[in-house]
Amino acid sequence: MRPLPSLACLAALTTLSCAHGSNPAGAPGSTDLAARARALAQRLIIADGHVDVPYRLQETLGPDGEPTEDISQRTPGGDFDYPRAVEGGLDVPFMSIYIPADLQQTPGASKTLADTLIDRVEQIARKSPEKFAMAYSVEEAQRNTKEGKISFALGIENGSALEDSLANVAHFQRRGVRYITLTHSKDNLLSDASFNTGKRTWNGLSPFGREVVAEMNRVGIMVDVAHLSDDAIRQAVEVSQVPVIASHSSCRHFTPGFERNISDELIRAVAAKGGVVMINFGSSFLTAEANASLEKFHKAIQAFMESRSIKSFGAPEVAAFIKSYQAEHPVTLARVEDVADHIEHVVKLVGIEHVGLGSDFDGVGPTLPTGLKDVSQYPNLFRVLLERGHSEADIEKIASGNVFRVWKQAAAHAASK
């Protein structure tokens, strides 16, 4: 998601505190369920709707223009690498092709970056064919899993990558993109953004945005309503002829006033069309307490930088300020149980068929909850769901079954045209 640039940099600068105590996976009497959850994570296909690896690597390019991290091996930083993904049972991460909103001011820049990031994901798969493979359909993802490979599916985060050309929808479909998040942190040519709370350029989707939704339906790209304003989500659901997804959005029920999360009314609308809400793991998405704490933290950092005209989040002065701030104001984090709460909220509202996982790993930096710090820890979430009485069949739907259904429906609709 990367809603604030500071999140990517904070991961290397500070360790956040948790007000909730020890790792819940170590709770008394949890040993048997923990083992069962680990086995379940290995047996089921886990598809995560949003992992920000491509842009993470873009930010770590060396002098030769290549990433300094090799995610086919264990990496010291970040939330995703091959060994940890295998440990956690992750099979199908949707690699987020994240396009910063500021690039839309420069014609051609957004599309160029999108193609560059797609190239990079393909290159990683080519370099380690025994570990990774691209997946352009559910069937390919399932086949890759049987062969012991992790599938890279592709989703563009920010429809500004389309520039002002409807033809670019088909271009990115040919490149393997299987969902597009219509906007990001700012209104663009397609849609209003949830973070632009004081401005509504289009009062929902633009006329071009409506054409883009129809074209995405035509070519088989899922419509992603994460990051959209409420009116834009409502209109996207109405315009789309197939179910939509919210690839990494949690429930506003737990964070009143945080429009980036999705309201109960809109969860019902997405589900009524057959769609899926995929829960974001970032602490600010999960509890009002964490949301307020992290918002205060971000504002304090921004105010400090502005007061000293500092432009780089990586500046030593910023690191020193963060360390000092943290000592006096420990930041509140959520827990793995809070992610389960959001899953259960969707289930209670609209049923088990309409919820999935959209972690935002590598996109929310150090704000991840206790018990879900990286891709090795999906079993901790499964353990909580088992403890609460959810069946393995239900967990399979959450893990991948629901988003696979929508992916297949989008492909089938396109094939029928």
CA distance 165 to 393: 42
- Predicted confidence (pLDDT) at residue 21 exceeds the cutoff of 50: no
- Helical H runs in 13-81? 31-43, 53-58
Mean pLDDT along residues 304-315: 84
Is residue 52 a contact partner of residue 98, using CB atoms and an 8 Å limit? yes
Phi, psi of 77 (to 5 degrees): -120, -175
- Between the CA of residue 110 and those of 1, 14, 70, 362, 397, what are the distances in Å? 16, 31, 25, 20, 34
Helix (H) or strand (E) holding 269: helix 264-272
Residue 18: per-residue pLDDT: 40
Distance CA 378, CA 400 (A): 13
Strands 355-357 and 150-157: unpaired
DSSP string, 207-259: HHHHHHHHHHHHHT-EEE-TTB-HHHHHHHHHH-SS--EETT--BGGGSTT-T
Topology (CATH level 3) of domain 32-286+335-415? TIM Barrel (3.20.20)
What does the block give as tokens for 270? 């997405």
H helix runs in 128-227, sequence order = 138-146, 167-174, 207-219
Q: What was the pLDDT predicted at 314?
A: 66
Indicate the DSSP class of residue 263. P
Evaluate if residue 3 carries a pLDDT over 70. no
E strands, 52-175, in order: 90-98, 132-134, 150-157
Q: What is the pLDDT of residue 20?
A: 37
Q: Residue ranges of the domains in the chain? A: 32-286+335-415, 288-331
pLDDT per residue over 221-262, tens digit each?
A: 999 999 999 999 999 999 999 999 999 999 999 999 999 999
Give residue 315's pLDDT band: very low, low, confident or very high (50, 70, 90): confident
Residue 35 confidence (pLDDT): 96
Q: How many helices (H) and strands (E) does the chain have?
A: 17, 9
Cα separation, 265 vs 252, whole angstroms: 10
The more confidently predicted of residues 386 and 18 is 386
3-class DSSP assignment, residue 303: helix
Question: Which residue type is seen at 294?
Answer: L
CA distance 218 to 214: 6
Per-residue model confidence (pLDDT) at position 30: 59
Give 345-385 pLDDT, tens digit per residue: 999 999 999 999 999 999 998 899 999 999 999 999 999 99
- The proportion of the chain whose per-residue pLDDT surpasses 90, expressed as a percent, equals 82
Query: How far is residue 377 from each of residues 10, 24, 391, 392, measured CA to CA in Å?
Result: 21, 12, 19, 17
In tens, the pLDDT along 118-137 reads 999 999 999 999 999 999 99
pLDDT band at 197 (very low <50, low <70, confident <90, very high): confident
Question: What's the mean per-residue pLDDT of the chain?
Answer: 92
pLDDT of residue 15: 39
Q: What is the pLDDT of residue 120?
A: 97
pTM: 0.91
